[in-house]
A and B are shown apart, each in its own frame.
Chain A
Amino acid sequence: MKPTQEPRRPTHVTRPGANHTGITLHPDLVAEMIEGTHEFGPTSRGGIEQLIAARDRAARDSEPAATMPPTRHLPAERLPVLDQLGARLAFERTGVRLYQALIGKLDTYDAFPGGPSRADLELLRDQERDHLLLAEELILDLGGDPTVVTPCANLQATATRGICEVVVDPRTNVIECLEAIVIAELADHESWDQLGHAVGLLGAPAVEQRVRDAERIEDEHARKVRGWLAAAAAELAARPPH
């Protein structure tokens, strides 16, 4: 349901504002800070290698962050495919939520020339949902459990945690959200491609064909989002902020 209020114009976040983080705003303060580091130097010797050595030691004591469930009834060669399918399922589910949030943004902020229409985004949302259901179906076909958080699913969720936070943040506009979503789309396409290779190794041509179909659609998603970002860049260049 679209809101009844008038949409906001896209905000130029690159306009001059109140950013306080750089050193050029406070050169005297920074000079004093640098002077302080000369008087009060480090209290321990060495460099980054000690952090790396500590990681190495901890890694030798660590168990894997996640494994697959006990699967006595499944051939072991299916597990890598089930792991990757679990990741696609989880990623697509989050993808639907991302596009639902982005459609909401489009209702809040005006569209921009060359940017996505509501229908464009609804198509992508529905295709993410189709891929979610495809992953579910293939997992069931291979004898897996689609509710499992597989190791690959958990890893990708950790790696992409910030994307969702960008898109549901009321302060970000459509263009900023597309900057985040392009990361998801590029990663998603790459992951479907890798899944296609894994399924190919399994020797299941019918499954491979369906995975490749999804991979092509995800490739199209990445192209579309990159195109919208290019249009946004052109729009910002044509109408620079005052």
Chain B
Amino acid sequence: MSERFMHGSPILLGSATTPGVRIPPELAKLIPDILQSCRDFGLDFYPTIVQMLTHDEISEVAAYGGFPVRYPHWKWGMEYEELQRGYMYGMHKIYEMVLNTNPCYIYCLNSNTLLDNVTVIAHATGHNHFFKNNIYFSHTSDNMMNELANHGSRIRRYMSRWGKEKVTEFIDNVLRIETLIDNAKAWETRQAKDPVFRDIRRYRHPRRLPITKERTYMDNWINPSNYIQREHDRIEKIEKAEDLGIFTNPEKDIFGWIKENCNLKTWQADIMSMLYDEALYFSPQGLTKTANEGFASYCDYHIMAKQGLVGLGQEGHDHGIVEYSIHKMGVLGGKYSMNPYKLGFNLLCDIEERWDKGQFGSEWENCDNMRERENWDQKLGLGKEKVFEVVKFYDDVNLINEFFTQEFCDKYEFFDWQKQENGEYVVVSKDAKQIKRKLITKYTNRGLPDIRLADPNHLGRGIMLLEHQWEGRTLYKPYLQETLKSLNFIVNKPVLIASKNKNEEEVIYYCEGFGDNEVHELSRQQYRKEFGLSSS
């Protein structure tokens, strides 16, 4: 059986420097039971290592994003300070952390009660199942702890070779563009570029419609000469464009493109490729946050409450249900707030209920009788199966797109608010369609603006032209300017970004570099004037 339990492994000791705390014996002897319950529930997960840490240590681990072996950078120190302060002033507390690795690490906090820790392990095993089975995680490395440690030691080596300040400055700049990646790139098999030894001309032939042998006499009619001529012209155009190095497709994966194509020093290219790998590794967690957290909550709810694990290690078999419920409400609570845990949990519970009752398919969709719909129950009992299927194939956007229905919206009381001029947030509507659209916008592309590289050699002057795909929301200017400066620093070329302002007028932000380290804001006319384009 692959799902074995490993007792407090020494990985956090020694090289990784975080001394682990021994697991209290009363919890240690419960862990096999908890994992068995999870298995009974149907979870399929990586082998698990449970670590018990003090708050200081868990802050450290959390500051490093779960991997205490990462490269040195001040941003971890910043996270650490924030977490420490938050804990000191009683603002928040980390209950658990779980890593997407094989074996899977679960960190518990030693100041939590026994029941909390049992819940945490059940919850984290839900995450573990998600990591192992969800399709968006299928391309992440299982062995990230080692890979990140390798990155750390490589970057340390560059630091000792080129100076800590220099390397840190470069990393600072790269971190600013780390959101400009395309998550779909994880599916592409990456390979080193073949070195070019000689120019090979690849012939392209005009596309002809297929004709069977008996009908060759139809050829002139099916593939007329003017059509062939058009195809020839098209191919010629493409070849010329390739010859001149004209960029044809807008590129979403700007980070990856820079890494591959820009003029970087070897150490810079290496650092960029490492950070790119890390960004790709962490991106599915952003894509599936709601589904992931929802599923983990769904698991611990089933295992703790329905399978009765709340009594584990307690005096009576149902002791602890109150404590569990209070904590559950703490996690899923928040007045008026859009809690992603709660949304995911409710969506999965709703799916389970609907598929248990058979509320799906064309028959259900086409039923207009409200009374019939209300009492619809075919006693199919497919709920759990469906939930596990959803967990396997869906990310946040697809989950909401498919299962956020009118009924769901009404039942869980969603509303749509808008900020007024006096700063008040006012409810505008409770329309399910509108709300769904907003939710999907929020989750698409991890809630970040869609920026594309339109042309790396704009106007033939080596200017990098980015485009903001306009969806009706403006960009945050101070951050945009800083990011442009960083792009300019990395590629060492002038950078342009085309976007729109509040009044939907075109705005162009321009960072020239070469000593002029300011970002200029230009209108279209100013841009034409500045770049000497004709006014037509």
Do A and B come from the same complex? no
